[in-house]
Amino acid sequence: MSAWPRFKFYGTPRIFFQAAGDILGGRIHQGDDVARLEAEIARLTGRRHAVATPQARVGLYLILKALLTGSERRKVVLSPYTIYDVVNMVVCAGGMPVFADVDARTGNLDPDQVAALADGDVAAVLVTHLHGVMADLGRLSAICEAAGIPLLEDAAQAFGGRWQGHPAGGVGHAAMFSLGRAKNINCFYGGVVITDDDVLAGAIRAEMADWPDLATPFLVKRIVHCAIIALAVSRAVFPWATRHVFRVLAIRGERKGAALFSTERNPVLRRQLPPEWQRRLTPMQARMALDQLRGAEADQIHRLRLARLYHDGLADLPQVGLPQSLPGAEDIFMPFPIQVPDRQACQEHLLNAGLDVVVQHIGNCADYPVFAPFHRDCPQARQLAKSVLLLPTYPGYPEAEVRRIVRAIRDFFKAPPES
Ligand SMILES: *Cc1c(COP(=O)(O)O)cnc(C)c1O
């Protein structure tokens, strides 16, 4: 039975063995590996500073807090098509989120919208490279430069991407990467901030100086949780059991409008950084991340090959919106996002054909009731929030499955099979 899950954790199963060894050997908090990881990320991205953080979102908070301190400016212009805690970090840092609509071709900030909002109260523009699809950094940099506003990059999903030869995160004033469990460098929880600004890097390090390491019980719990999920989506279990559960839950859930597997389903407004987030990445996690950096390029080549197959297999379907790479962009497609008119029916069609795919549960933050004070009408983001379906590109995902997905989507839209 060929049946492949919608996702796989990067770095597994290897990082589970690394974790078990470090936990049992009492080495979670031992070693100079955090500094080694920081040096390696700084080298790979060509930046003067890389600072490890407990999560990417906390990195964003620290950047914004430093930029807002001593500034009269309060507005932070950002895409509403992102995870809600990104918006919360602006609020926690003392900023005022201003949503700018996205360009449907990339799903990322539309430079024209940003230009219209770039006034003298804007402290920063935050661009997100969602799904590893690069935003228009050329135009956004020009707009920000002309207005004297720092451009920040949310590169949480874009490690390894490039813009005109520059690494993702290496174009703006500062950027953050995520090392969380859903990302392409996965140490279960974590992030890294990069910048060339000595003062900013110093301020971030000073703010974190008193924070303790992530606690051992917290990490053990999270790793065990991930191990259970990894087992459920493993080749030994998924084809026989999990896929049926996923299919039934997905169909029932989506029909009821309940996103069962989403962390985005209950947005909350945060005004203060939760104290339990004020932690530091551990040396154990830094070792895992360093280890995975070595395989990152091979993973990327695989993703790009699958993305090409999806693209070429679906390009002639008028109903399917494909992500568009801008000139000079090297996207990393993690995963491959497509836009379809009735995504729920399309997902059901694929699930019933034995193909496990997931809808993108990120919503349009500009429309969330908890963010009502910051509401702005963002029709493109609203449309994307109900039409994006995610196609797998992870390491080991077979080309034959990609071809089956392409065939099933063509079949759903009653298009002839690929020639
Ligand atoms: C995952 C993600 C984040 C947050 O990363 P954490 O490490 O979980 O804080 C921020 N922005 C985007 C676009 C993400 O996908």
CA distance 197 to 64: 13
How far are the Cα atoms of 42, 257, 390 from residue 185, in angstroms, in the given order?
Answer: 15, 31, 19
Q: Is residue 154 lining ligand 1, measured as CB closer than 6 Å? A: yes
Peptide bond preceding 54 in cis form (omega within 30 of 0): no
Q: Which residues pair with 97 in a beta bridge?
A: 76
pLDDT of residue 255: 85
User: Model pTM?
Assistant: 0.97
Q: Would you say 152 and 141 are in contact if contact means Cβ atoms under 8 Å apart?
A: no
pLDDT of residue 286: 98
**Which are the contacts of 285, defined by CB distance < 8 A and separation ≥ 6?**
179, 187, 188, 189, 190, 214, 219
pLDDT of residue 93: 98
**Which are the contacts of 36, defined by CB distance < 8 A and separation ≥ 6?**
286, 290
Q: Is residue 193 lining ligand 1, measured as CB closer than 6 Å? A: no
- Phi and psi at residue 239, to the nearest 5°: -65, -25
Q: What's the gap in Å between 384 CA and the centre of ligand 1? A: 18
Probe target for ligand 1 pocket from 62, 108, 152, 157, with the most ligand atoms within 8 Å of CB: 157
Q: What's the gap in Å between 83 CA and the centre of ligand 1? A: 7
Ligand 1 atom with minimal separation from the 130 CA: 13
Q: Is residue 130 lining ligand 1, measured as CB closer than 6 Å? A: yes
Q: Extract the tokens encoding 187.
A: 């140490």
pLDDT of residue 419: 65
Q: What is the dihedral of CA 414, 417, 418, 419, to 10 degrees?
A: -130
Q: Would you say 126 and 78 are in contact if contact means Cβ atoms under 8 Å apart?
A: yes
Q: Is residue 157 lining ligand 1, measured as CB closer than 6 Å? A: yes
- DSSP codes, 79-137: -SBS-HHHHHHHHHTT-EEEE-PEETTTTEE-HHHHHHH--TTEEEEEEE-GGGPPP-H
In the Cβ-directed half-sphere of 171, how many Cα atoms lie within 13 Å? 32
pLDDT of residue 1: 54
Q: Is residue 194 lining ligand 1, measured as CB closer than 6 Å? A: no
Q: Would you say 189 and 179 are in contact if contact means Cβ atoms under 8 Å apart?
A: yes
Q: Would you say 76 and 124 are in contact if contact means Cβ atoms under 8 Å apart?
A: yes
Considering only the C-alpha atoms of the chain, give the largest distance between any 2 of them, rounded to a whole number of Å: 62
Which residue's CA is minimally distant from atom 11 of ligand 1?
Answer: 156
Which residue's CA is minimally distant from atom 12 of ligand 1?
Answer: 156
CA distance 100 to 102: 7
CA distance 132 to 139: 18
Q: Mean pLDDT by 10-residue block, N- to C-terminus, for the chain (419 residues)?
A: 89 95 96 98 98 98 97 98 98 98 97 98 98 98 98 98 98 98 97 98 98 97 97 95 92 83 89 98 98 96 98 98 96 98 96 95 96 98 97 97 98 89
Ligand 1 atom with minimal separation from the 59 CA: 9
Q: Is residue 132 lining ligand 1, measured as CB closer than 6 Å? A: no
What is the enclosing helix (H) or strand (E) of 389? strand 388-391
